[in-house]
């Protein structure tokens, strides 16, 4: 199924929740969707017979300076097609519903995005740091991140 057809199915189902996207002349066609409805959309694209996106390839956090984003790379093992969903939230209130209940693999990816970007995935069963120490302060992959001078009494920049 082409990106246009997938986009039309999403538009027909969710209407205004599907925002603008780029479907042509890009390496991976994508649409942006409203962050508060991502869980609903995820559950739909996974179960709908025409789409059946049962494989979440990758979930990445991105800092767009002022906004934080999450990119979902989807793949269907049944139909062998791909699609990309993107959401954006303001950095001050980075709340995005967790899709862990739809794709179990999102569990660790979301923990990683929380760890490095401070995105709060609401409804995640176990949202804690995964790569950094549990008592680390700040979110290092944010563009305005300042490396702390000390961590537990140890000098950090060396």
Partner 1 sequence: MTETTETIKTSTGRVLRTEEMVVNMGPQHPSTHGVLRLEVVLDGEIVVDVIPHMGYLHRCFEKHCEHMTNYQQVVPYVDRMDYVAAMTNEFAYVVAAEKLLKIEVPERVHYIRIIMSELQRIASHLIAIGTFGIDMGAFTPFLYYFRDREKILELFEMTCGARLLYNYIWIGGLSHDLPPGFIEKTKEFCKDFKTTLKEVNDLLNYNEIFIKRTANVGVLPKDLAINYACSGPMLRGSGVNFDLRRDDPYTMYDKFEWDVIVGKGEMGAVGDVWDRNMVRQREMWESLRIIEQAIASLPEGDVQKAIPKRIRPVPGDAYGRVEGPRGELGFYIVAEDSVTPYRIKARAPAFVNLSVINEISKGAMLADLVAIIGSIDIVLGEVDR
- Which parts of this chain interact with partner 1 (CB under 8 A)? 26-28, 54-58, 60-63, 71, 73, 77, 80, 84, 103-105, 107-109, 116, 129-133, 140-141
Q: How far is the CB of 155 from partner 1 (least distance, A)?
A: 16
For the bound state, the minimum distance from the C-beta of residue 134 to partner 1, rounded and expressed in Å, comes to 9
Q: Smaller CB distance to partner 1: residue 36 or 129?
A: 129
Joined together, the tokens standing for residue 150 give: 């000390």
**Least gap, CB of 135 to partner 1 (angstroms):** 12
Main-chain dihedrals φ then ψ at residue 157, nearest 5 degrees: -75, 130
Instruction: Output the CA–CA distances (angstroms, integers) from residue 134 to 96, 113, 127, 131, 145, in the order listed.
Output: 22, 14, 11, 9, 18
> Can you tell me the distance from the alpha carbon of 26 to that of 141, in angstroms, rounded to the nearest whole number?
25
Are 85 and 43 in contact by the 8 Å Cβ rule? The answer is no
Burial 117-139 (b: 16+ CB within 10 A, else e): bbbbbeebeebeebeeeeeeeeb
Toward partner 1, which CB reaches closer, 15 or 80? 80
Closer residue to partner 1, CB minimum distance, 25 or 93: 25
Q: How many residues does the chain have?
A: 158
Instruction: Supply the minimum distance, in Å, between the C-beta of residue 11 and partner 1.
Output: 22
Nearest residue (CB) to partner 1, 9 versus 132: 132
């Amino acid at each position: 199924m082409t990106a246009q057809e997938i986009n039309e199915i999403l538009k027909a189902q969710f209407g205004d929740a599907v925002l603008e996207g780029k479907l042509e002349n890009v390496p991976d066609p994508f649409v942006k969707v409203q962050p508060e409805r991502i869980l609903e959309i995820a559950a739909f694209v996974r179960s709908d017979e025409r789409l059946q996106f049962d494989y979440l390839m990758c979930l990445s956090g991105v800092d767009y300076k002022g906004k934080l984003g999450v990119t979902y790379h989807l793949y269907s093992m049944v139909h062998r097609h791909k699609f990309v969903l993107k959401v954006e939230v303001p950095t001050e209130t980075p709340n995005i519903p967790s899709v862990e209940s739809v794709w179990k693999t999102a569990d660790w990816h979301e923990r990683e995005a929380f760890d490095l970007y401070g995105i709060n995935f609401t409804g995640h069963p176990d949202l804690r740091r995964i790569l950094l120490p549990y008592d680390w302060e700040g979110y290092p992959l944010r563009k305005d991140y300042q490396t702390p001078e000390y961590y537990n009494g140890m000098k950090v920049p060396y």
